[in-house]
Amino acid sequence: MQRTNPQAVLNARELQLQALLLRGLSGDAVAYRDFLAALALHVRGFLQRRLARRPSEVEDLVQEVLLAVHNARHTYQAQQPLTAWVQAIARYKLADHLRSFARHEARNEPLDDDTDLFAGTGAEPAEASLDLERLLEQLPARQRLPIVHVKLQGLSVEEAARLTGLSSSAVKVGIYRGLKALARLIGGRSNHEHQ
């Protein structure tokens, strides 16, 4: 009996979603609708793992992510991994949601774990890491270091504050402003690449 390679299944799933998106971007409304429906399943699983303590919030956030994907569809490039592109949008929306929630409650929810949007493909290319490093280098230390320590290394806000010499609130502000700056940088890059 032959075993199915989970990585191959995940790669095939991504290629199928990418094909639907590209057909949708070329004007095929049925393919685009199918893309959003299939993507919703992945986004829902991604968010359910991260909002396990607040399952009632998942559906609204799924819709927000799908709307953000729809609104940003013109920024997607065919040579770009769909996983990384959608996951960046989903993480940004999740961060916004948790930040809004944190204003109402004094606790933080971890944004990162070892799973990704398409069930942990682990196939995010090395280029994405290099791109992220280059983008982070453009940020001031007050934004870059909190993102690196909290979002990439998984330290708590308090641990990052001790390491950087910033206050906990300055670390949170640095993350917030740094993520917004990264989004602007990414938007600027994709605009330059389309020109």
- According to the model, what pLDDT value does residue 104 have? 55
- According to the model, what pLDDT value does residue 186 have? 74
Q: How far apart are the first and last CA of the chain?
A: 51
Per-block mean pLDDT, blocks of 10 residues, the chain (195 long): 68 89 93 93 89 87 91 87 87 83 54 54 47 78 86 82 87 89 71 49
- According to the model, what pLDDT value does residue 129 have? 53
- According to the model, what pLDDT value does residue 122 have? 42
- According to the model, what pLDDT value does residue 111 have? 54
Distance CA 177, CA 172 (A): 9
**pLDDT digit string, tens, across residues 31-79:** 999 999 999 998 998 888 888 888 888 999 999 999 999 998 888 888 8
9 membership: H or E segment, kind and range: helix 6-25
Distance CA 104, CA 154 (A): 23
